[in-house]
Structure 1
Amino acid sequence: MTQQIKLIYVDDKLDPLLVDYLYDFRKDDIIIVYNEIQFDSSSRNYESLLTDSRVLESDIIVIDSKLFENEYAESGSKFTGQEFKLVLRILNPFIKVIVITQNRDLANYGVLNKFATSKGNASQDNANDFYNKSLKPTIEEAIKEIVEMRRIGEELELNKGAYDGSLIVEKTQNLLNKITSYRELTDEKIDELIDIIKKEVLENRDE
């Protein structure tokens, strides 16, 4: 069965070479639906990004580490890609976030390097070669995990009788189907829900 993956790129300054690479990204038996968001720190903050329907409905997000243009941006807009990845994981752990940067010192944060366009080799072919070595396998692994979770979700739905009296099946399906909202971050039970999902669903991958 052909799967659909919604891929979105978020940056304060959209990189045309990365835009073209992601727009043309292909994977066998997968329909890639590409979108992008230019994050304007002068008019948007982290909450506006976390409430954006394009973000909440996506499967994979490629986001720049630095989402503000300069040090004088409003404090509420000084929101890094790493912070976004952490917060979104709490909101919906099934959305995969890939952080990219020009800063070579962020490898310990799981951040991938962005193609350097300032070295005089800023052609699309060179950018494609660069991203094929690092970004492509990361996206492909994210797709693999998403498809796995969808299959487990289908099994969970078939076996929902085993969870009688619990909201775990409904909540998990809502997360898989991207039925969620930013206000859930203030729910006292969100941590409990995430723990349950990790224990009862995600760990099944290792069995």
Structure 2
Amino acid sequence: MAAIELRPLPVTQDPVRRLAQLIAGLALYGTSMAMQIRATLGLNPWDVLHEGLTEQTGLGFGLITAITGVVVLLLWIPLRQRPGVGTVANVLVIAVTVDVALALVPAPDGLAARIALMTAGIVLNGLASAAYVGARLGPGPRDGLMTGLAARTGRSLRLVRTGIEVTVLAAGWLLGGTVGVGTVLYALAIGPLTQAFLPHLVVGARRQ
């Protein structure tokens, strides 16, 4: 499959459609996180890492999340990634949306309902990731790492995203983070899902 151009476009190019897609994608991402949390079948790999670091350092979960984000942004420098509107919005919109969704989404009763909620959350997460990355207003810290590595190595987003998720998952587990079946499924599925949705959502897509 040909590579898809994902570098940020000028904000003035089709701003209404792109801003709407960015905000919708981030809101759906926060909702998908809440769905996975309510399913109680395992955290996503990054949150496994955050929990593991919290256990090892004694620092709060939110502070660890912020520190991890800063470290990931520093990794952008050798990858020549540049932050954009989407990078800032990523932090703000997801933080608000996940709390709202947690207040609205009830914890399901029964294993079948939990599995269904977990699966829907993972699929929605892949769609949401493709939507806000495809808006080309600047990816979030972790997605910028994904797109930067894909661009520098010439590997597919599917392979790079899966590699990152599995690496983070392993590190978080070794540090004492909680791993469940949902964690493993997310790590294996999120790359292919994002890759599948992305061609339909990239603004000004140009295959190389």
TM-score using structure 2 length: 0.26
Q: Which has the larger radius of gyration?
A: 1
Q: Of Structure 1 and Structure 2, which has the larger fraction of its residues in helix? A: 2
TM-score using structure 1 length: 0.27
